[in-house]
Structure 1
Amino acid sequence: MTHDPMQHSVGSIDLILASSSQTRKDLMNRLGIQYRSIPPDIDESPRGELHADDLAKRLAFEKAQAIAEQYPDAIVIGSDQVAWREGAPDIFIGKPLTVEKAIKQLQGNSDRIVYFSTALSVQQKSTGFEETLVEHYKVKFRKLCLTEIERYVERDQPLHCAGSFKCESLGISLFEQMMGQDQTTLMGMPMIKLCEILRDLKILVP
């Protein structure tokens, strides 16, 4: 078996995930490749964006850019996700951070379709490489009663998850249907697209 001499083993390059998210680290760990995680220091507040796609794309780009400027030879991966309910892409559903807000979010999601705009930005400053894109996923929540919501929030503690659920955990019990091409888009980073970009950069995946 031979390899393209221009391809790289990951050990020969500096691959950085611009995130402190454990979920995104878990997604990266699926690839079995060497990387490090450095959280970017950026302001994640909206700046008048009228669509979730625009906010997610800007934040993913700025996260990757902040780390790429510090490590210009590294390949840096940034990602961001914005949730929104059907018909309201300009009303962003953020991380609840408190139990009360999580319960309120899930009450609002009950019997509704919630969309997830998940952006990915891969940058390498020294070569000028930059690719930024947005992938979509949507979830139809079943009709939820308050008791179910309170029990779910207590058990799964989804306080740092946009939409107030963890699809990789008990959150799956809240859904009627999941719709999209890549479930990792719902989890916070579109891994199929990331693997395509890494292969374009001659990184061996798998």
Structure 2
Amino acid sequence: MTDFKIQYSDIILASSSQTRKDLMNRLGLNYHCISPDIDESPRGEIHADDLAMRLAFEKAQIIAKDHPNAIVIGSDQVAWREHAPQVFIGKPLTVENAVRQLQANSGQNVYFSTALSVQHLTSGFECTLVEHYHVKFRELTLEEIQRYIEMDQPLHCAGSFKCESLGISLFEQMIGQDQTTLMGMPMIQLCGILRNLGIKLP
């Protein structure tokens, strides 16, 4: 990617996710958040990569249309089990669903397609990509699952765990180039894009 320095008025994270805010805070940049209002339902996608990339793009696009001179960052993550990228694991939302998800994840490799879209409409800049990470769950007992859910409350997390919290105790192994991909936004890639746009990091 070649340098593409731009003039921008603001940096906007198109998200209401506290985890993504925490990741952005690592960079020490001035930014603010606007939550995009989009339908996150699949539209016939047959691979998790395609769904994650469309949603990340749409999240950034809907905010960028109202703020064309801002750098807008959108991200989305889709989880799936080994050999089944067409079967998307969503957010459980209820304790019962979280128990079922973790029982299904027990002993399995679970993959995460995490997409990132950075847009600046005034200059015509747009970059959308997907990164991958996966974890190997250890064999989990029902008692462990129930205790974990009660303690960590992962009801709004795809796969029913928080890797940045107690969820780390559920794994045998974590595999990937950038752990922040698992957390919901690939920060190594984001830093590269922002530097390319002329933003100094660090």
TM-score normalised over the length of structure 2: 0.96
Amino acid of the structure 2 residue aligned with 1:178: M
Aligned to 1:45: 41
Aligned to 2:60: 64
How many residues align structurally?
198
4, 19, 25: which one aligns with 1:29? 25
SS of the residue 2:114 aligns to: strand
TM-score normalised over the length of structure 1: 0.94
1:2-17 mapped onto 2 (5 Å cutoff):
13-17=9-13
The alpha carbon displacement at 1:7 in A equals 8.5
Which of structure 1's runs of 4+ aligned residues deviate more than 2 A? none
Cα deviations by residue, 1:127-160 (Å, 9 ceiling, x for unpaired): 0000000000000000001000000000000000
1:128 and 2:124 correspond = yes
Give the whole-Å Cα distance in 1 for the aligned partners of 2:37 and 2:6: 32
Give the whole-Å Cα distance in 2 for the aligned partners of 1:13 and 1:163: 36
Give the whole-Å Cα distance in 1 for the aligned partners of 2:29 and 2:125: 20
Cα deviations by residue, 1:66-104 (Å, 9 ceiling, x for unpaired): 000000000000000000000100000000000000000
1:191 and 2:170 correspond = no
The alpha carbon displacement at 1:55 in A equals 0.1
Q: Can you give the 5+ residue segments of structure 2 that lack an aligned partner in the other structure? A: none
Amino acid of the structure 2 residue aligned with 1:198: L
Q: Can you give the 5+ residue segments of structure 1 that lack an aligned partner in the other structure? A: 1-5
The alpha carbon displacement at 1:13 in A equals 3.5
Aligned to 1:143: 139
The alpha carbon displacement at 1:124 in A equals 0.4
Give the whole-Å Cα distance in 1 for the aligned partners of 2:17 and 2:199: 23
Alignment CA distance shift 1:109-1:38 (3 Å): same
Check conservation: 1:95, 1:164, Cα contact below 8 A: yes
Aligned to 1:101: 97
Percent of paired sites with the same residue:
76
Provide the aligned C-alpha RMSD in A.
Answer: 1.1
1:145-184 mapped onto 2 (5 Å cutoff):
145-184=141-180
Give the whole-Å Cα distance in 2 for the aligned partners of 1:38 and 1:7: 21
Give the whole-Å Cα distance in 1 for the aligned partners of 2:65 and 2:93: 30
The alpha carbon displacement at 1:205 in A equals 1.0
Give the whole-Å Cα distance in 2 for the aligned partners of 1:106 and 1:164: 7
Amino acid of the structure 2 residue aligned with 1:38: I
1:89 and 2:66 correspond = no
SS of the residue 1:184 aligns to: helix
